[in-house]
């Protein structure tokens, strides 16, 4: 699965937890989940659980901290998918 496919699958998961709809209009690799999209830490955990289910991967607590931007989340998911192939 390439970066574009991961992002296509990831964006709807993230958008579910955005409380300010205008923030979702300009999601880029550099978009910070907590700061830019105003996603709270509890919803970040929900996103992680949804990502794990959608991509059939496991994300550790340490890895959650590295999922601070959309780009970092996509990269981590990509790495995990390569390991499971």
**How do residues 20-63 score in pLDDT, each as one tens digit?**
878 778 889 999 999 999 899 899 999 999 999 999 999 999 99
CA pair distance 14, 33, nearest whole angstrom: 8
Closest by CA position to 38, among listed 16, 65, 13, 19: 19
Which tops the pLDDT comparison, 85 or 78?
Answer: 78
Tokens 């105003």 found at: 38
Closest CA to 39 of 10, 79, 62: 10
More confident position, 73 or 83? 73
**What superfamily would CATH give domain 3-84?**
ACP-like (1.10.1200.10)
Global pTM reads 0.91
């Amino acid at each position: 699965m390439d970066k574009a496919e991961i992002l296509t699958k990831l964006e709807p998961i993230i958008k579910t937890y955005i409380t300010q709809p205008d923030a979702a209009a300009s999601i880029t690799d550099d978009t910070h989940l907590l700061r830019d999209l105003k996603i709270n830490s509890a919803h970040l955990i929900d996103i992680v659980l949804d990502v794990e289910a959608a991509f059939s991967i496991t994300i550790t607590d340490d890895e959650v901290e590295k999922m601070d931007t959309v780009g970092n989340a996509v990269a981590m998911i990509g790495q995990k998918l390569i390991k499971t192939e």
